[in-house]
Amino acid sequence: MPPYRPLRLLGASLALPLVACGNGTPPPSPESEAASPAMADHGPLAAAPGADALAADFIDPSGARIGTAFATPGPNGMVIRVDLEGLTQGFHAIHAHQVGDCSDPDAGFQASGGHINPAGVPHGFLNATGRSEADMPNIYAHGTGHLRAELFAEGLTADLGLDDDGFALIVHENPDDHETQPIGGAGGRVACAAFTN
């Protein structure tokens, strides 16, 4: 018997269990994987927020609904989840404003008031004495205009945000530089979601 024959038999014996493990079904193609339930888009904010979450619609300056926001109050602030369409690509500032009122889209959502800032501290994460309850990290819209994010608004408790007149989440046209006063150079208000009791 030639010296290489045992190796050939060993290779064949190892391959046999692998063939036996198959169920006769060919492996899925990339197209079928994309259509499978595990890979499907489960819609906005696939993992639903908890039972304590409050919901609000985002509207744009024309008054059209462009997304959804959820706010879940906690002892030290709120978990904010946003899902929007129709924004320009890039980073956008998002801030918590004093009044839950988005009734004046044609006026740039001025009814929502200024930033929630009961202590009157300077704006921005990069200010040594700053950071109000309104301040949050920037959010990013992809080239399609779609934006989905989850943020923690530290200090924005239910007592502060959900008072008699509620609060609004405002998305701005530009990113927040986290330092320039009074709003980090964020520019105009391009989306508003009002939370009220």
User: Does 175 lie in the same domain as 79?
Assistant: yes
Q: Is residue 185 part of a domain?
A: yes
- Number of domains observed in the structure of the chain: 2
Domain membership of residue 120 (yes or no) is: yes
pLDDT (tens digit, 9 = 90+) per residue, 152-197?
999 999 999 999 999 999 999 999 999 999 999 999 999 999 999 7
Which residue, among 111, 94, 119, 123, has the nearest Cα to 196 in the 3D structure?
Answer: 111
Residue 78 sits in the same domain as residue 169: yes
Q: How buried is residue 121: exposed, middle or buried, by Cβ count under 10 Å (0-12/13-18/19+)?
A: middle
Integer CA distances (angstroms), 193 to 8, 60, 73, 81, 133, in order:
70, 9, 16, 12, 17
Phi, psi for 77 (deg, rounded to 5): 155, -165
Average pLDDT, the chain: 82
Lowest mean pLDDT: which of 50-54, 55-59, 160-164, 181-185?
A: 50-54
In a domain, 61, yes or no: yes
Is residue 117 domain-shared with residue 150, that is, in the same domain? yes
The token pair at 160 is: 């502060």
Note down the domain range covering 18: 5-35
Q: What would the pLDDT profile of 127-160 be if each residue is shown by its tens digit?
A: 888 789 999 999 999 999 999 999 999 999 999 9
Q: Is residue 43 part of a domain?
A: no
CATH of the domain at 93: 2.60.40.200
State whether 96 and 164 are in the same domain: yes
Strand order of the β-sheet with 147-154 is: 94-97, 167-172, 189-195, 54-59, 65-74, 77-84, 147-154
Clarify whether residues 121 and 188 are in a common domain. Answer: yes
CA pair distance 22, 9, nearest whole angstrom: 21
Residues 83, 71 contacting (CB under 8 angstroms):
no
- Do 100 and 15 sit in the same domain of this protein? no
CB atoms within 10 A of CB 169: 28
Are residues 21 and 74 part of one domain?
no
